[in-house]
Structure 1
Amino acid sequence: MSHILLCFTCFESFRLTARNRAVRLSSVGKIAEKPVIGILGGIGSGKSTIAAEFAKLGCKVIDADKIAHELLEEPPVRKKVVSLFGQAVLDSSGKIDRRKIAEVVFADDRMLASLNRIIHPLVLKRTQELIEQYRRQNQVKAIVLDMPLLVEVGWHKRCDKLIFVDCEQKIRQERAEKMGFDKKQIKIRENFQISLDNKASLADNTIENNSDFSAIAKQVTGIFSYIVDNG
């Protein structure tokens, strides 16, 4: 996953209560043959690391940030984005500089909303297409959504299982800084996200990501086995 990420949200207004969780679970019923697993957690918590571990177990991972980045390079999308932000968001090679866009949108709600109207529907459309594609592939055991704002855009309700990645704030901040974010940027991005407590309350399982890699792999394997065996 790219070190410079853009977070896309549709600014939907909904409450994260036990009722929402009940709606998600009751609408799913029996877990699908190829369950959709959503990964929740804060910036720097290690969501992509967890997703990569699921991939080793035969799951297909859908990386929403990667999809968004690919979309920004498609001519029709690129044209709309440049029209919105101007030529200043292009780098020396003529490609969209995501860092420059991030500086603008996280300081201006209206610009972020405008960007969302361009990118957001396309990201979700492509995500749904990939889900349907992977469901037709016999070798795929499950589908994992690595989507930073999974809950914020309402896609947690499309998941059969939700897993929260729990990580100490100090560790998350250190990881985020290694990814290229300073403390101010981290705070701005967190302000656009729902609280970690609310996300944790929606999860079916929790993975602790404060220790070594072997401990993470063991937790992922255990949870995945449970999901498959109890499907």
Structure 2
Amino acid sequence: MPVPSAPDESNNTRPVIGLIGGIGAGKSHVASILQEEGCFIVESDAIAHEALEDPHVREAILLHFGTNVLAADGRFDRAKLAERIFTDAGLRATLEGIVHPWIERERRARTAGASSSSRAIVIDAPLLLEVGLDRECDHVLFIDAPEDVRRARLMGHRGWSAAQCSVREAAQLPLSQKRARATAVIENAGDGETADRLLRAAIHAFLVSIERA
């Protein structure tokens, strides 16, 4: 995996927040709340989707994976790609080696273009710790949720099986390591209006605390 170089601190006076947590913990929802709070969000998953449309990335992936990972419309079938890479660590490393440099360039470009009025820059990346992006962050926020809650969300919202949840979690750092490397933790253990109100209050308090630090 590529290792990001050190950021140019002279051009960035806004805090940089890295968002981490288990799959299904609700990081995307937290990111949307942070955006409502005035933060600029850089979402690596969304950038990864765009990377697959790049002709050079497409050519490199097809060279290693063949055309059987394409859908009927000629685009990449992300489910087929996922099935291949989450059962073969070597193929996963190959895909990451192709896609991650593109994602990193685009991430830096978007960060550089963030409005100066942004309250903070938030990096939402599934492999933030694995690729060393935490070194570019002033704060690393871990979103915590019990395993049964996370799996219920994944099975209900994404239609994953319990086995698929386990395989994808195994491809990331253990949650204990993620939590240990975080500088702050926010619980997102429930769903519904009351839980969302508590989550929003916790996120607001977190932002206020880092601004006062």
Same fold (TM over 0.5): yes
SS in 2 for 1:55: helix
After superposition, the Cα gap between the structure-2 partners of 1:70 and 1:11, relative to the gap in structure 1 and judged at 3 Å, is: closer
Residue identity over aligned pairs, in percent, reads: 34
Aligned to 1:182: 161
Is the 8 Å Cα contact of residues 40 and 162 (structure 1) preserved in structure 2? yes
1:223 to 191, 195, 206: 206
Is 1:59 matched up with 2:42? Answer: no
In structure 1, what residue type is equivalent to 2:144? D
Is the 8 Å Cα contact of residues 51 and 57 (structure 2) preserved in structure 1? yes
- Structure 1 runs of 4+ aligned residues shifted over 4 Å read none
Aligned partners of 1:39, 1:106: CA distance in 2, in Å? 22
SS in 2 for 1:141: coil
Is the 8 Å Cα contact of residues 20 and 140 (structure 2) preserved in structure 1? yes
Please list the CA deviations of residues 149-175 of structure 1 after superposition, one character each: whole Å capped at 9, or x if unmatched. 111111111100011111011000011
Is 1:214 matched up with 2:194? Answer: no
In the alignment, structure 2 segments of 5+ residues that lack a partner are: none
1:103-122 aligned at under 5 Å gives the runs: 103-122=83-102
Please list the CA deviations of residues 78-126 of structure 1 after superposition, one character each: whole Å capped at 9, or x if unmatched. 1221222111111111111011011111111221121111101111221
Aligned partners of 1:94, 1:184: CA distance in 2, in Å? 28
Is 1:155 matched up with 2:133? Answer: yes
Aligned to 1:17: none
Which segment drifts farther, 178-187 or 66-75?
A: 178-187
Is 1:195 matched up with 2:151? Answer: no
Aligned partners of 1:81, 1:188: CA distance in 2, in Å? 22
2:145 to 148, 167, 170: 167
Calculate the aligned-residue CA RMSD, in Å: 2.0
In the alignment, structure 1 segments of 5+ residues that lack a partner are: 1-9, 13-23
In structure 2, what residue type is equivalent to 1:52? S
Aligned partners of 1:133, 1:195: CA distance in 2, in Å? 33
Aligned partners of 2:14, 2:46: CA distance in 1, in Å? 22
Aligned to 2:73: 93
TM-score under structure 1 normalisation?
Answer: 0.83
**1:11 deviation in Å?**
8.9
